[in-house]
Structures are given as C-alpha cells and as structure tokens.
Structure 1
Amino acid sequence: MENSASDEAYSSGVSWAAVIAGAFVAAALSLILLALGAGFGLSAISPWSNIGASASTVGKAGIVWLIVTQIIASAMGGYLAGRLRTKWANVHTDEVYFRDTAHGFLVWAVGLVVTASFLASAALPMAGGAAHLGATMTTGASVQTDGIVANALTQEDVPAADRTYLAQLVASRTGLGQADAERRVVEVIGRAKSVADSARKTAAHLLLWIFLALLIGAFCASYAATIGGRQRDRVKRV
C-alpha cells in the first residue's frame, strides 16, 4: 500500500497522450465544421439584389454556427480525453473530478492553438500575395493620397493643405472647380469615416462573440471530459 501511495505521489496527473489525441480530434472537427459553415454561408449570399440572404442574416447565422462548432468539437475532444486517460488508483473522487476537468481544458487549449496555427498559416500567404499585388499597382500619387486619407480617418478635421492637395487631384481628373472638388473631398472622407466606424463596431461585436464561443467551448470540453472519465472508471476487467 505504501508503494502504491508513493508511486501516485510522484506520478504525473496528466495523461498527455489522451490530451493530444482529444486536441487533434477537436481541431479536426473545428476545421471540418468551419468549412461546412463557410460553404453554407457562401451559397446563401448573392451579389444580385433581392437574391439570397442579407449580410446581417448571414452574420448572425455565422455567429450561431461558430458557437455550435465550439460545442461539438470541444465536447468530442474532451470526452475522448476523459475516456482515453489513465485510470487513477487510490485517488480521491474530488481529485479525479478536478483532473478530468483539467484534461478537458487542456484539450480545448491545445486544440485552439492547433486550429489557430493552421488558419494563420493558410491566411498569411494569401494576405502577402494581395499586399504584393496592391504594391505593384500603386503609384506615387496614390500612396500619398492613401496616407492623407488614412490620417484624416484618425483626425476630427482634414488639414487645409491636405484638403487642397486632394481637391487639386480631383479637379485635374474630373474637370470640377476647386470649390466643388473640395466639397467632394469632404463628402468622400465623411463617408469613409462612417464606413470605418461601422467596420470598427462590427469587428468589436465579432470579437466579443468569438470570446463567448471560445468560453463555451472551454466549458463543454471540461464537462465532457468528466463524463468520459466517469465512464472510463466504470470499465472493469473481465
């Protein structure tokens, strides 16, 4: 009995093989379900008016699907980790419950890192290609114009020198008078500020919903691991 207690005291309470297996299952299910949701979303929208679902509807459905994805993938990964982990002997029930919960949480954490790494590695080449294409198509005047507009989005008012420069560009390309060109510049920058503010609010709401979905996923993985652990402990040798 002393040897058993001593072995338990010096042995790790984490079954990393079960955690890694559950994490890869959770990551794979997440990618599969995200691909399925993206396919449904793209098939539901259309560039033509009055055809397909609205952007607002697709966005709300995407948030719901993200939460469902986290629930299914995290719960499956946590459950498998609970069923596959080592059966602990001479350990108090409360300690077993804590270890199972920790196994589920570790599955969620490792699976999240794996999924995020895969998505980032897939997105970076596309972003780099788009940036390179944009750089090759950009002229000196457009670079300066982009810089002026970007600065205007962060300021309450456009400096007079910048406004005059933009108005001269507009006037030279459209044939408008200087006063009309300045009014058009002010209107365009105002619309750009409205679009930027709308994008900011949308991004903020999206990040909050992602945070909630990930929190739900962590809970589901931890709880499912306790279910799998209880079923694992009921298994008896025959």
Structure 2
Amino acid sequence: MTIVATSAPVAAPESSQSAISWGAILAGAAAASAASLCLFVLGSGLGFAAVSPWSNAGVAAGTFAVSAAIWLVIVQWLASALGGYVTGRLRTRWVGVHTDEVFFRDTAHGFLAWCVSTLIAALLVGSAVVGTVSTGVQATTSVLSGAAQGASQGAAQAAGNISDPSGYLVDTLFRPVSDQLPPTTPATNQGDVRTEAGRIVATSIANGEMTDADKAYLAQLIAARTGIPAADAEKRVNDMLAQVEAAKTKAKEAADAARKAATTTMLLGFVALLIGAFIAAVSAALAGKLRDEDVPSTT
C-alpha cells in the first residue's frame, strides 16, 4: 500500500511595501492645483472682458453663469487629467501584483490626488471668504459708527441728504406749481414738512404698504404745501407708491435671476467635480499602464 503525501498550499507572504504612494499623490495634487489656478486666472480675465457695467452691453447674467459653469467643467477636466497622469507615472511600481489589483490601485491613486487638490482649492476659497467677511465686518462697524455720529445732526439734514433713498420721492411730492411757493405757506416750514413726509414714506416702504390714513394725511400736506387740488395731490401719492412697487418688483426679478444663475452654477459645478474625479482616476490608470509598459526587460 502506497501512501502519497500531499502538501498544503502555502500563502504568498504579504509584501512590506505600502500600496499607497503618497509622494506621487501629493505631486499629482500639486500639479492639478497649479493648473486649476492658472485656468481660473485665465477664466477670470475672460469673464471680466465679457461683462460690462453699461446697459445693453456685455453678456447677460444667465449667460455668464452658464459660461462660468462650462469653464469650471473644462478646468476640472484639464487639471484632473494632468494631476491623475502625473500621479500614475510617478507612483511606485508594484511587483508581483495582479493586473486587476494594479488597475484598482492606479484609479485609487488618481482619485486621492483629485481629493487632495480639491481640499487645497477649498482651503484657498475658504480663506478668501474669511478675508472678505472680515473686511465686511470692519466696513460695517465704520458705517455704524459714522451713522451714530451723524444721527445727532437731526432729521432735517437726513431728509436732505442725497444718500437717503426716499429723498428723491419726497422731492417729487413737493415740487410747486410753476416753480412758485403759495403765499400762504411760509418757506421756513419746508424742512419740517419734508421731514414729516419723509418719515411717512420711509415707514410705508419698510412696512410694505401705506395705510389709507397716511395717504389722506400726506395728500393734505402736499395740497397745503403746493397749492394744487386735493385730487392732484392724491394722484402724486399714488404715482409715488406705484414707483415704489415697480422698484420692488424690479428688485425681486433681479434677485430671482441671481437665484436661478446661482442654482445653475452650483449644479453644473457639482457635475464638474464628478467629472474631475472620474478623469483623474482614468488618467492615473492610463499613466500607470504606460509606466509598467515602459519598464525595460532584464533579459
């Protein structure tokens, strides 16, 4: 009787070499961040050239937002491709590793390089936002301090200040007929009447509407000050309120357009980031394959 001895399979020893090449990842992330910075500077220059402060000149806000989002996709595509390729070519060669495992490691290296470069960009953007907020807080403090000092000068000066948003509307209410003051109204009371009317208009704008009592009283002040009939004074009040509502509507339309543009930019920016992660992983896998093929034979 013959006994055949069989040997149990011996597992391959675990390699002491790390599967992650952090040097290659950091190098790829640095290349991607630098490329992103250069492309963002180029995009900012093109954006400033496209917009214009003049009406009927330059691109619209919606077109600018879409163009900015498309440029973000291009930036992510090019920068991620460069970073992933640099990572794949500089990573440590793995000897005795299955090709499927090599492919996975290469894609993981490209993805990690994209992650590091994105975190670097987020830190830079965050520091810029913090600086902007700090500057805004300092400016607000200065404005509040100046406002507290100027409040003691009286409401009459505030009503005549060109920075008062209701100043022009109040001026239109008290424009006399044929540029002549009624002889029954002393000119010395002009400041007091305008101040009172200015408070009525400012309160109505803050509340969103003017009460019927305020409308009637304001029309009486206008009729007494300008000498026009009561019906014409009421028409001036209604015309002024119509201008206020038109300004509110225009502001809401501008805010809605800005909201839509921001939404479009954020959604396309999210898509751009996903594209960047995919491109970085694919570029690293391709570069790693090329690196392994370029290894000279030892025969």
**TM-score normalised according to structure 1 size:** 0.76
Q: How does 1:88-103 map to 2 (within 5 A)?
A: 88-103=94-109
Aligned residue pairs, count: 215
1:27-68 C-alpha deviation (Å, 9 max, x unpaired): 111011001110111122222345444444433332222111
Residue 110 of structure 1 corresponds to which residue in structure 2? Answer: 116
CA distance in 1, matches of 2:262, 2:25: 33
Q: How does 1:142-181 map to 2 (within 5 A)?
A: 162-163=207-208, 180=238
Structure 1 counterpart of 2:255, one-letter code:
A
Decide which moves more: 109-118 or 11-20: 11-20
Against the structure 1 CA distance between its residues 230 and 166, is the aligned structure 2 distance closer, same or farther, given a 3 Å change threshold?
Answer: farther
Q: Secondary structure at the match of 1:6?
A: coil
Shift of 1:200: 1.8
Structure 1 unaligned spans of 5+: 146-158
Residue 193 of structure 1 corresponds to which residue in structure 2? Answer: 252
Q: Which of 122, 140, 156 is 1:134 aligned to?
A: 140
CA distance in 2, matches of 1:224, 1:166: 67
Residue 213 of structure 1 corresponds to which residue in structure 2? Answer: 272
Decide which moves more: 64-73 or 220-229: 64-73
Greater helix content? 1
Q: Find out whether 1:68 has 2:74 as its counterpart.
A: yes
CA distance in 1, matches of 2:46, 2:205: 49
Residue 34 of structure 1 corresponds to which residue in structure 2? Answer: 40
CA distance in 1, matches of 2:252, 2:36: 36
Shift of 1:187: 4.2
Decide which moves more: 10-19 or 105-114: 10-19
Against the structure 1 CA distance between its residues 161 and 21, is the aligned structure 2 distance closer, same or farther, given a 3 Å change threshold?
Answer: closer
Against the structure 1 CA distance between its residues 163 and 15, is the aligned structure 2 distance closer, same or farther, given a 3 Å change threshold?
Answer: same
Q: Find out whether 1:48 has 2:54 as its counterpart.
A: yes
**TM-score normalised according to structure 2 size:** 0.62
Does the 8 A contact of 1:166 with 1:182 survive in 2? no
Decide which moves more: 84-93 or 130-139: 130-139
Shift of 1:162: 2.6
Against the structure 1 CA distance between its residues 52 and 164, is the aligned structure 2 distance closer, same or farther, given a 3 Å change threshold?
Answer: closer
Larger CA Rg, structure 1 vs 2: 2
Q: Secondary structure at the match of 1:28?
A: helix
Shift of 1:201: 1.7
Structure 2 counterpart of 1:111, one-letter code:
S
Does the 8 A contact of 1:30 with 1:73 survive in 2? yes
Q: Which of 2, 10, 13 is 1:6 aligned to?
A: 13
Against the structure 1 CA distance between its residues 161 and 63, is the aligned structure 2 distance closer, same or farther, given a 3 Å change threshold?
Answer: closer
CA distance in 1, matches of 2:13, 2:83: 31
1:158-211 C-alpha deviation (Å, 9 max, x unpaired): x9993368998xx8xxx8979646555544444333332222222111100000
CA distance in 1, matches of 2:270, 2:205: 42
Structure 2 unaligned spans of 5+: 1-8, 152-164, 166-203, 223-232
Against the structure 1 CA distance between its residues 161 and 195, is the aligned structure 2 distance closer, same or farther, given a 3 Å change threshold?
Answer: closer
CA distance in 2, matches of 1:36, 1:95: 39
1:7-35 C-alpha deviation (Å, 9 max, x unpaired): 42x54311111111101110111011001
Q: Secondary structure at the match of 1:137?
A: helix
1:135-157 C-alpha deviation (Å, 9 max, x unpaired): 4325489xxx9xxxxxxxxxxxx
Q: Secondary structure at the match of 1:119?
A: helix
Does the 8 A contact of 1:163 with 1:185 survive in 2? no
CA distance in 1, matches of 2:266, 2:41: 20
Structure 1 counterpart of 2:87, one-letter code:
A
Q: Which of 18, 25, 44 is 2:24 aligned to?
A: 18
CA distance in 2, matches of 1:163, 1:43: 39
